[in-house]
Amino acid sequence: MLKNRVKHFAMTSGTLGLTLLGIVGCGTDPSTSTKTGIAVADTQNTTGSTPKPAVIQAVGAENEYANVISQIGGKYVNVTAVMSNPNTDPHTYEASAQTAKEISSAQLIVQNGVGYDGFMNKLESASTNTNRKVIDVQTLLGLPDNTQNPHLWYKPSTMPQVAKAIANNLSALDPAKTAYFQDNVKNFDQSLQPWISEMATVQSEFPNVPVATTEPVCDYMLQASGIDNMTPWVFQADVMNGTDPSPQDVSVEENLFKQHLVKAFLYNQQVVDSLTTSLLNLAKQNHIPVVGVYETMPSNHSYQSWMLDEVKDLQNALKNHVSTERLS
């Protein structure tokens, strides 16, 4: 389903910096490399000096997964996010030699699957690491290869299962810390409640409200919020896969704005081309509120705050549209 875009993934000899995430795991520009939350654990001290840190080396293919690893592993993990720049199209990401090095030494890897980050499988196969544990979220959720929407982190049920799997794998790597990891899973699950509650509020205030999108980045969240996405799937899939939608499908999308059939327009801020720009202008001309969403976690966010902010942005857009309709 992502063949037209994932084919751009390739190994290069570049020096792409990798973001190392602490407990809150903020995504940053991959041109920089910072380390936070270095874990400290008891190790044998043969020199009489302060014990050296003992940490589990982990990699999240996407920074939202790296962030959750950090929240579960806390001070006992050192996490690298491969894709972490919210200002670029993740579908055109090219894995570097540095990425390969990080993966070769990782003890735990979390990747999305469904063709979204297929380059990870190639990099893992290129290095032998008998201690490496890999969590493929597609496999974890039992999803088939032909799953249409790969943006699994927007589905409310995904990350609790990922967090649990992370804790189980970290516990296998460091059994003495099992209680610590399991406690962090409980805290993580509780911290998702504001997001869950906000989606329920949107569903209550705007039941089955119609919206339009460019691609299915946040479709799972829209479904959980009781939102009716009026954009035809074939249009969304074409945009997602980097294919030009047919003139007929473009006309259907445009009529959603011209005929005022939708109350908001959600677009992927990381992939803006001439078609998206024309739709944004059309939405503005017809007084349709616009909501920008991301498929890579923005800077200064945790996974929870990112998801919560996107629902609130949608809620505010819908409220503003209702207010505008009442005044007109």
Residues 149 and 14 in one domain: yes
- Measured in residues, the chain has a length of 328
Distance, in Å, from the CA atom of 309 to the CA atom of 296, rounded to the nearest integer, reads 14
pLDDT confidence of residue 324: 60
Residues 137 and 265 in one domain: no
Residues 166 and 37 in one domain: yes
**Which of these three, 141, 175, 191, is where a domain ends?**
191
Residues 230 and 141 in one domain: no
Residues 243 and 152 in one domain: no
Residues 215 and 164 in one domain: no
- The boundaries of the domain holding residue 43 are 3-191
pLDDT confidence of residue 323: 58
Whether the Cβ atoms of residue 147 and residue 138 lie closer than 8 Å to each other: yes
Residues 128 and 221 in one domain: no
Residues 137 and 285 in one domain: no
pLDDT confidence of residue 9: 35
Residues 199 and 72 in one domain: no
Distance, in Å, from the CA atom of 294 to the CA atom of 275, rounded to the nearest integer, reads 18
Place of tokens 């003495």: 176
Residues 162 and 286 in one domain: no
Sheet with 108-111, edge to edge strand ranges: 19-21, 77-83, 56-62, 108-111, 133-136
Distance, in Å, from the CA atom of 63 to the CA atom of 299, rounded to the nearest integer, reads 10
> pLDDT by residue (tens digit) across 99-134?
899 999 999 999 999 999 999 999 999 988 888 999
Report the amino acid identity of residue 287.
H
Q: Supply the CATH number for residue 271's domain.
A: 3.40.50.1980
pLDDT confidence of residue 97: 86
> pLDDT by residue (tens digit) across 52-73?
448 999 999 999 999 999 999 9
pLDDT confidence of residue 129: 85
Q: Is 277 exposed, middle or buried (0-12, 13-18, 19+ CB in 10 A)?
A: exposed
Residues 158 and 251 in one domain: no
Bridge partners (DSSP) listed for residue 60: 81, 110
pLDDT confidence of residue 165: 98
Distance, in Å, from the CA atom of 4 to the CA atom of 117, rounded to the nearest integer, reads 13
pLDDT confidence of residue 86: 78
pLDDT confidence of residue 160: 98
Sheet with 290-293, edge to edge strand ranges: 228-229, 210-213, 265-268, 290-293
Report strand pairing: 210-213 vs 56-62: unpaired
**Which of these three, 147, 171, 191, is where a domain ends?**
191
pLDDT confidence of residue 128: 83
Helix (H, G, I), strand (E, B) or coil at 139: helix
**Residue segments in the chain with a per-residue pLDDT below the cut of 70:** 1-53, 89, 322-328
**Which of these three, 142, 175, 191, is where a domain ends?**
191
For the chain, the domain total comes to 2
pLDDT confidence of residue 294: 96
Residues 232 and 255 in one domain: yes
SS3 assignment for 168-195? HHHHHHCHHHHHHHHHHHHHHHHHCHHH
